[in-house]
Amino acid sequence: MKFTLDWLKEHLDTTASADEIGAALTMIGLELEEIEDQGKAFSEFVVAHVVSAEQHPNADKLKVCKVDAGSGEILDVVCGAPNARTGMKSVFAFPGTYIPGKDITIGKGVIRGQVSNGMLCSAMELGLGNDHDGIIDLPADAPTGQRYSDYAGLKGVTFDISITPNRGDCTGVHGIARDLAAFGIGSLKTTDMSPVPSTGTSPFAPLPHQFAPGEDKTIRKFAGRYIRGVRNGPSPAWLQRRLRAVGLRPINAIVDITNLVSLGWGRPLHAYDAARIVGQPVLRNARPGEELDALDNRTYPLDETMTVIADDVGPLCLGGIMGGERSGVVEETVDVFMECASWDPQLVARTGRKTGIVSDARYRLERSVDPALTEPGLELATRLVLELCGGEPLEPVVSGEDTPPAVVIDFPFSEVERLTGLRIAADEIEAILSRLGFAVEGAGFTRKVTVPSWRPDVTQKADLVEEVMRMVGVDKVPVDPLPRLHHVAPRMLTTIQNRRRVARRALAARGLDEAVTWSFIPHEEAVRFGGGAESLQLANAIASDMTDMRPSLLPGLLAAARRNAHRGRADIGLFEVGQVFLSDAPEGQHTHASGLRTGTARLTGAGRHWQGDAKQVGVFDAKADLAAALDALGVGIDKLQLVAEPAAWSHPGRGGRVQLGPKIIVGWFGELHPAWSEAMDIDFPVAAFEIDLDALPEPRKKPTRSKGALDISPLMPVKRDFAFLVDRSASAASILRAARGADKTLIEDVTIFDIFEGAHVGEGKKSVAIEVTLQPRDRTLTDEEIEKVSGAVVAAVVKTTGGALRG
Amino acid sequence: MSLETQISDLRAEITAAIEAAETEQSLDAVRVAALGKKGSVSALLATLGTMAPEDRKTAGPAINGLKNEIAGLIEARGSELRDKALEARLAAETVDVTLPLQPAPTARGRIHPISQVMDEIAAIFSDMGFSIAEGPDIETDYFNFTALNFPEGHPAREMHDTFFLKPGADGERKLLRTHTSPVQVRVMQKTNNPPTAGYITPPIDPPIRVVMPGRTYRNDSDQTHTPMFHQVEGLVIDKSSHIGQLRWVLEEFLKAYFEIPDVTLRFRPSFFPFTEPSMEVDVQCDRSGGEVKIGQGSDWLEILGCGMVHPNVIANAGLDPDVYQGFAWGMGIDRIAMLKYGMPDLRAFFDADQRWLDHYGFRPFDLPTLFAGLSS
């Protein structure tokens, strides 16, 4: 909300400087966003005479003007404004002038081959409104070379403050002045809002409220006044200046008065040209199909939840939001019907949202406007109309009820100290509340505090504590340590929280960079990765490629890999630890730790190297990352089932799945399916994995952290090698499992050290060589014992695989 | 030929042979030829047996002297040859140690600044006795707004630029949480018991001290706003905590986080539906150098919002607001990461540009702890 120091001083008697006021505004919760000295800001703009305006030789829409800006020379200036013409007066900025509306400093330039020594400015370029149809058109008698700020009376200090949504009372200068006065910056001035005597009866009856029982009714109380025979026209210079200073365009005296009251007292009004109202105006909800041609020159479709002021022809005004073009007040208006009404803030907000209209009236009314100001506001408006435009005020017409119940709060003053730690004397608390307009009654521990009509946001004790605290200053609250725990802090992270942290560090330690990608992905990608359900689609996505909650981290990582590849980085490793969404229920959210390697980005390095070039990434790189992460998480991959049933995204013969059982799937790994690569425009090798951290079992709670006794044998282990010829489909895991199971006490380890296929071992066959480590426990093994175990190993592998020991 | 002549001839001959031996092998041949069973010196020694005892008295020491002398020379030459051989081997084995390695995996992989800052935040609050609480990203209107005292149709609701999901089969319109505050409600509220998923923090009986980091979403995008961002929220509920302690917690946190000895905060009254009184907090900073320096200078930078938990929120959770009280605060993780580590553009956080990640990321073993320091 913008206002000027002059305007504030009409409501506040103060000697405080602008800076003092600015600081006070922030300290009481009316945050100062900007303070601007307009005299300074516009001091470099001058009134200029456009000596001539000729067509630009090289551009249809540009003109080359000769401009006299009073500097003693005639300047060439290129101008794109349609209204630039020979002989006009406008506002000129010399090179080096800062243009506030564009946030640029204008320089000397050459535009399409023509030199331009400055700029002729529109009101918008000056930051003085929204008028950008052309450059400012000044009267012919404006003195060339005069400072525009002096000419237009643009001087003085402007404040721009941000108003929190609870403070409807501060959407007018008067409310701001009241807060400042309560804080001790001067004293509040009052305005005469007493009734203005009428000169006759109104041609309109009080507006009937035509609503069916139970219908949503935005109107609470409507006060209107017919003022006959006004002389409308441009408003006086002081009023125009005031409105311009806060970014409003003066229209005519009557309309400017409504804006003055709206901004000055936070009391929106609406003025109708009474001659254009057909029949008796009424209050009702809009009918299906009705529209309003509004004052912003747009047409809005209305519906039956929206209350309108209508006449025999149709809607005149969308209640609480914006008036209609048909009955708008123009300079020729002679009879005015002035409205000051009380509306339901929630329903105004709803209509505002539905229509998308942003207006000064809606801004105030949806935050609440003092209901006690409905009739006084109308009197104030009448007085101003009589003052500026004359006319005969007829009887006001009032209909509806708006007497909100008085809010009385039982307020123990001790609440202030309980909630803030601030100790304040009772009479000071009482004084603060009184200055803010609260009535404090009673004596002793708990007082009765009556809330003023303009503060519907205050409903309970804590609200009063805030009032007291903001007037004292939060900085006065003594800093007090939060008591420390009387024990060593307990574990802070849960298992899943710690697992995410560990997974991140473990994967980064394998040379992968952690990415954080969007939770929403394109619909097509969501569907491809098994998601895309309607309940996981955004109803109001911000972009067409951010529509669906992701079912997997891989689409985001693949897109990131593709972006990096397009930047010339095709050998990278990325991972993400983050949420995926399998349903819209809380339990449908899982945390995955997923990653990928592209090109030749292997654990040992990427690209060409004198120690040996890195090979393309493959399924075993992905498996190794998955295994390393799982191991860091305390779940050895050898404790899990590994099955050759890869994810849909994986090459079917180069991927796998790890699981605790067929129902509890822990993760997937593999090379990206060639068809998926093609569909996703990925032209480099990708090896990827996914781990569902929520599928990992919670570690068993043990009564002790003891690791058990270490059992080491003093005897030398014995190693024996075996080579088997098996079917190509026989899995390494089954061979290892069979060999290990041959003697559970003696066999300590089995590893595969060689594997090959080829014509010499036979079509569809492969040779697998294993090394078995036997660990004697209490005595050295005899040859017979070793032979026995060897026989058992061979028998077990042959039985499992149907293969044979190679000779 | 006298024995002496014999010995001296032999000495000269063998000595020359020793010196001529260039390898351990040829030296060994010399040794065998001289001292071996059939060697020249051994042959001479054998003559002692045939000598008269008086002759033997002088001849014995002389021949044995020769034997020992030759043995000594061979030993010395052998040692010399071994040294030379080692030297030659070492020279042959010498490599260019300046050849560069492939960077270690730990030198390549990087932790994202958001994760790092979350760990830093956890380290600091663990010292003050807080634990971490979490809730889902897809929330109901109840947890995101209603339970937090956002009146239906209030402009404060609209200011949140909420993302809505398409209505499900039951017609309920879920949303993406616009802040981490719904977790407050879940932590306080008994009706949440038991949570339907393992990651959701179950309700805690007061005293409550939790911090709640997580992803949040608003339909907004420019240089400092992205439709997805990260917040961390704090909540203290007990029977005595007040704004004085809130000020202490925030001051201590910001000092520890920015690793500065002192910080000046400015508390401004403000409005949030779920706190009363509510405040926004500005931190003292210096913008003069083009880069924001926290804890110096005379400018202010808005950094977080906070307040006493609204009595309605406490009551909505099933606690008596005349008995229980406490405070809450919230701030942007991405934002405080930018302030501490100097990233200029929020949007780059989510682009996964490897150059950005390598520059702004953290080494895998840069573990933020209080005992070793938050950042290195």
Provide the angle, in degrees to the nearest 10, between the axes of the packed helices A495-508 and A619-632: 140
At residue A484, the pLDDT reads 85
Per-residue tokens: A57: 């030789």
At residue A136, the pLDDT reads 87
Phi and psi torsions of A396, nearest 5°? -65, 150
Per-residue tokens: A644: 């050759």
Position A13 pLDDT exceeds 80: yes
**A508 at the B interface (CB within 8 A)?**
yes
Cross-chain Cβ contact B365/A569 below 8 Å: no
Closest-CA distance, B359 to chain A, in angstroms, reads: 11
Nearest CA in chain A to B243: A420
CA distance readout (Å), A216 to A305, B25, B63, B171, B196: 6, 115, 135, 23, 39
Cross-chain Cβ contact A560/B351 below 8 Å: yes
Q: What is the mean pLDDT of residues A236-264?
A: 91
Q: Chain A neighbours among B 197-216 (CB < 8 Å)?
A: 197-201, 215
Closest-CA distance, A458 to chain B, in angstroms, reads: 10
Cross-chain Cβ contact A479/B248 below 8 Å: yes
At residue B155, the pLDDT reads 67
The pLDDT tens digits of the residues spanning A409-441 come to 999 999 999 999 999 999 999 999 999 999 999
CA distance readout (Å), A31 to A176, A368, A463, A678, B302: 11, 20, 19, 55, 11
Tell me: ipTM over 0.85: yes
DSSP labels, A638-664: GGSEEES---TTEEEEEEEEEEEETTE
Cα separation, B62 vs B56, whole angstroms: 9
Residues 6+ apart with CB under 8 A from A241: A152, A153, A154
Structure pTM?
A: 0.86
Contact present, A270 and A361 (Cβ < 8 Å): yes
Helix (H, G, I), strand (E, B) or coil at A453: coil
Nearest CA in chain B to A607: B102
Position A293 pLDDT exceeds 70: yes
Report all structural domains of chain A as residue ranges with CATH numbers, in order of start.
Answer: 2-39+158-188 (3.30.56.10), 43-153 (2.40.50.140), 209-400 (3.50.40.10), 408-473 (3.30.56.10), 495-695 (3.30.930.10), 718-805 (3.30.70.380)
**B315 at the A interface (CB within 8 A)?**
no
Q: Chain A neighbours among B 72-101 (CB < 8 Å)?
A: 99
Q: What is the mean pLDDT of residues A339-352?
A: 93
Query: In A, which residues are within 8 Å of B151 by CB distance?
Result: 346
Query: In A, which residues are within 8 Å of B217 by CB distance?
Result: 519
**A162 at the B interface (CB within 8 A)?**
no
Q: What is the mean pLDDT of residues A403-408?
A: 86
Residue to mutate among A216, A359, A497, A693, with most B CBs inside 10 A, is A497
Cross-chain Cβ contact A572/B134 below 8 Å: no
Closest-CA distance, A530 to chain B, in angstroms, reads: 18
Q: Are strands B208-217 and B131-132 parallel, antiparallel or unpaired?
A: parallel
Q: From the list A490, A496, A611, which residue is nearest B199 (CB)?
A: A496
Cross-chain Cβ contact B311/A489 below 8 Å: no
Contact present, B149 and B310 (Cβ < 8 Å): yes
pLDDT confidence of A130, banded at 50, 70, 90?
A: low
**B355 at the A interface (CB within 8 A)?**
yes
Query: In A, which residues are within 8 Å of B128 by CB distance?
Result: 482, 484, 489
**A664 at the B interface (CB within 8 A)?**
no
Per-residue tokens: B314: 């406490």
In angstroms, what is the C-alpha Rg of chain B? Answer: 43
Closest-CA distance, B333 to chain A, in angstroms, reads: 13
pLDDT confidence of A70, banded at 50, 70, 90?
A: confident
Position A758 pLDDT exceeds 90: no
pLDDT confidence of A131, banded at 50, 70, 90?
A: low
Cα separation, A10 vs A222, whole angstroms: 28
For chain B, give percent helix, strand, coil, nearest 5.
45, 20, 35
Position A478 pLDDT exceeds 80: yes
Per-residue tokens: A703: 């009564």
Query: In B, which residues are within 8 Å of A589 by CB distance?
Result: 136-138, 197, 199
Cross-chain Cβ contact B154/A478 below 8 Å: no
pLDDT confidence of A775, banded at 50, 70, 90?
A: very high
Closest-CA distance, B81 to chain A, in angstroms, reads: 35
At residue A378, the pLDDT reads 96
Q: From the list A367, A420, A514, which residue is nearest B242 (CB)?
A: A420
Position B192 pLDDT exceeds 80: no
**B298 at the A interface (CB within 8 A)?**
no
Query: In B, which residues are within 8 Å of A558 by CB distance?
Result: none
**B195 at the A interface (CB within 8 A)?**
yes
DSSP E strand stretches across chain B: 131-132, 138-139, 175-176, 208-217, 228-238, 265-272, 275-286, 293-294, 299-309, 325-332
pLDDT confidence of B191, banded at 50, 70, 90?
A: low
> Which of residues A82 and A566 earns the better pLDDT score?
A566
**A with B: how many residue pairs have Cβ under 8 Å apart?**
291
Nearest CA in chain A to B135: A586
Helices (H), A673-770: 674-679, 732-741
Position B1 pLDDT exceeds 80: no
pLDDT confidence of A132, banded at 50, 70, 90?
A: low
Contact present, B213 and A500 (Cβ < 8 Å): no
The pLDDT tens digits of the residues spanning A350-396 come to 999 899 999 999 999 988 899 999 999 999 999 999 999 999 999 99
Residue to mutate among A30, A32, A161, A166, with most B CBs inside 10 A, is A166
Contact present, A135 and A79 (Cβ < 8 Å): yes
Q: From the list A494, A514, A540, which residue is nearest B163 (CB)?
A: A540
**B280 at the A interface (CB within 8 A)?**
yes
Peptide bond into A393 cis (omega under 30): no
**A490 at the B interface (CB within 8 A)?**
yes
Q: Chain B neighbours among A 4-33 (CB < 8 Å)?
A: 26-29, 31
Residue to mutate among A218, A305, A472, A479, with most B CBs inside 10 A, is A479
At residue A623, the pLDDT reads 97
Q: What is the mean pLDDT of residues B294-317?
A: 92
Cross-chain Cβ contact B269/A346 below 8 Å: no
Per-residue tokens: A35: 């303070």
Position A129 pLDDT exceeds 70: no
Q: From the list A420, A514, A518, which residue is nearest B244 (CB)?
A: A420
pLDDT confidence of A40, banded at 50, 70, 90?
A: confident
Cross-chain Cβ contact A567/B128 below 8 Å: no
Cross-chain Cβ contact B165/A165 below 8 Å: no
Cα separation, A280 vs A282, whole angstroms: 6
Cross-chain Cβ contact B267/A474 below 8 Å: yes
Counting DSSP H helices and E strands in chain B, the numbers are 13, 10
Closest C-alpha to A39, from A129, A155, A176, A160: A155
What's the distance, CA A249 to chain centroid? 30
Cα separation, B19 vs B16, whole angstroms: 5
Q: What is the mean pLDDT of residues A612-618?
A: 95
**A359 at the B interface (CB within 8 A)?**
no
Query: In B, which residues are within 8 Å of A519 by CB distance?
Result: 137, 176, 215, 217, 228
Nearest CA in chain A to B130: A492
Q: Chain B neighbours among A 253-282 (CB < 8 Å)?
A: none
Containing A398, the helix (H) or strand (E) segment is strand A392-400
Sign of CA dihedral A443, A446, A450, A454: positive
Q: What is the mean pLDDT of residues A137-156?
A: 81
Range ranked top by mean pLDDT from A176-185, B44-53, B182-191: A176-185
Share of chain A above pLDDT 70, in %: 99
Closest-CA distance, B131 to chain A, in angstroms, reads: 4
Containing A428, the helix (H) or strand (E) segment is helix A426-435
Buried b (16+ CB within 10 A) or exposed e, B231-249: bbbbbbbeeebbbbbbbbb
Residues 6+ apart with CB under 8 A from A286: A302, A303, A304, A306, A307, A308, A310, A315, A318
B276 is in an annotated binding site: yes
CA distance readout (Å), B342 to A260, A549, B80, B292, B334: 45, 30, 65, 8, 11
Task: Quote the mean pLDDT of chain A.
Answer: 92
Cross-chain Cβ contact A610/B99 below 8 Å: yes
A14-23, A102-111, A558-567, B120-129 — which is least confidently predicted? A102-111
Q: Chain A neighbours among B 324-353 (CB < 8 Å)?
A: 325, 349-353
Per-residue tokens: B115: 């994760």
Query: In B, which residues are within 8 Å of A536 by CB distance?
Result: 165
